[in-house]
Amino acid sequence: MKFIETRGNDGTRATEVSFSEAILGPMSSFGGIYSPESLPDLGTDFLQSHLDKDYKALARDILAAFNVDIDQSDIETALNLYDEFDNSENPAPLVKVKDDLYVSELYHGPTRAFKDMALQPFGVVLSSIAQKRDEEYLILAATSGDTGPAALETFKNRKNVRVACLYPDGGTSDVQRLQMVTEDAENLKVIGIHGDFDDAQSALKLLLSSESFNAKLKEKNISLSAANSVNFGRIIFQLMYHIHSYLELVRQGAIELGDKVYLNVPSGNFGNALGGYYAMRMGLPVEKILIASNQNNVLTHLINEGIYDISDSSVIPTSSPAMDILKSSNVERILFDLFGSERTKELMSDLDTDKRYALIPSELAEIQKVFSADFCTNEEGQEYIKQAFDTGYLMDPHTATCFKTYDTCRDKPLKTIVYSTAEWTKFSPTIANALTGEDGGSDKEALQAIASKANIEIPGMISSLFDKEITQSTVIDKQDIEKEILAFLD
């Protein structure tokens, strides 16, 4: 499987690269990213053959279908990390909430968020490649709350890898912040910035593409990569759980193999939705992918109107902060797959220069064949959380946004898979407020209140955070990021 550039080739880079090359250097010509040249066919026969296999077997066979150039022993080591999830045989359980609504719980890993599903194996793979090449890598991560803890967890103390993680100071939940600032491995650096996630992500992309920064790293014999979903190494592990969730519906007798379903995804940077899109393109029977946004609803406008416009916008802080994003990186891979590199380069150039682009009617029609979209306000999300709890299901505010699209975006009575991206423990004050109508208090107080009300235990990896020492206290202006990272490397 070869990977090619979303914005075309500039004449100085290889026209195609291997999987390992794409994940070691995820940025491509003209500021683009890498996408697969083609996709394997995983149709009915593939699905049928995996009905009696576990998650690791499914993941192993998907990697084989992509023909990734990774040693099988390294793949096995990476996939064995799923054994450390709550249920080693089923790391992403599918839970029935309504007759036609099922929740795929993607948060049963070490940091209690869906990013573990991809980043746990990804960390092993990237570190193994670096060791075999006898190269040192700096991994950049920008986080709106969940990528950071998951990246730090997977890369800590791994050989040939150092990580600089950028997060918006005040823009994450307290639990998410504590998961980052209490990390004490010597190969990790956590940097809070004055700004929002888009500022952090823009800084990451700028550094990845910066000739001067890369030259300074080269002087230190360090190469540069990224843990964000601009890296296809993340995406390949994300498309797997969409196929797994469908197979779980069949196993539970909710559908017959071949029946179409809706995939219902809370969307920020669009990596989760992109994984569903690729699964659909590879043969998963999907009617449509429902895109749930919060009040930062640029994706809703894109899918419903064909206009991506952030020219007069700023990030709105919401109760679902991991989705507080205006510039969704992985939309670029959708545009490339549907419209090709020349048009993608044109649209991305418009976004970079004018902070907006517009699709022509025929392009919008292609988008709408695959996606439907709506957004959920804080108040609506609170009500969905309460309604679900009253009927026996506890969910976080990101998952709640999908209950809005479940209500408004389906036009057929098909089973719907909602992707729950974070455990309730990550956003406990918001949930406590939804359940009681009162101020949720501190994270610690809210965790205890919810645990008591729901008669459940707080996972140890969350409760222990409040007793850990703060080891990462750096908070800086965004123009000082490069200097801070270079100082860390010294």
pLDDT in tens, 162-211: 999 999 999 998 999 999 999 999 999 999 999 998 899 899 989 998 99
User: What integer pLDDT is reported at residue 441 of this predicted model?
Assistant: 87
Distance CA 419, CA 397 (A): 12
DSSP letter, residue 50: T
- Over residues 270-296, the pLDDT tens digits come to 999 999 999 999 999 999 999 999 999
What average pLDDT does the segment 61-80 reach?
Answer: 97
Where residue 158 falls among pLDDT bands split at 50, 70, 90? very high
CB 404 within 8 A of CB 377: no
Determine the 3-state secondary structure of 265 from DSSP: strand
Percent above pLDDT 70 for the chain:
100
Using one digit for the tens of pLDDT, what is the confidence trace for 27-46?
Answer: 999 999 999 999 999 999 99
pLDDT above 90: residue 445:
yes
**Is pLDDT of 228 > 90?**
no
Confidence at residue 315, expressed as pLDDT on a 0 to 100 scale: 92
Q: Which domains are assigned to the chain?
A: 80-113+233-460 (3.40.50.1100)
The count of other CB atoms within 10 Å of the CB of residue 276 is: 28
| Closest-CA residue to 329 (of 242, 228, 234, 237) | 228
SS (H, E, C) 203-228: HHHHHHHCHHHHHHHHHCCEEEEECC
**Tokens found for residue 447:** 């965790």
According to the model, what pLDDT value does residue 440 have? 81
> Locate tokens 């994984």: which residue?
275
Q: Which two tokens stand for residue 304?
A: 């419903």
Give which of 314, 309, 311 is closest to 298, Cα–Cα. 309
The length of the chain in residues reads 490
> What integer is the mean pLDDT of 95-115?
97
pLDDT at position 60: 98
**Pair 165, 141: CB distance under 8 Å:** yes
Averaged confidence pLDDT in the chain: 96
The label of the residue with tokens 């099922």 reads: 102
* Of 467, 421, 424, 468, residue with least CA distance to 449: 424
Supply 186's token pair: 């010597």
- Rounded to 10°, the helix 397-408/378-390 angle is 90
Q: Report the run of H or E that residue 481 belongs to, with start and end.
A: helix 481-489
Q: What is the mean pLDDT of residues 203-228?
A: 93
Rounded Cα distance between 200 and 167, Å, is: 6
Contact between 79 and 105 (Cβ < 8 Å): no
Question: Which pLDDT does position 276 carry in this prediction?
Answer: 98
Closest to 46 in 3D by CA, of 30, 32, 58, 54:
58
What angle do helix axes 232-251 and 115-132 make, rounded to 10 degrees? 140
Q: Does residue 144 have a pLDDT over 90?
A: no
pLDDT at 145 over 90: no
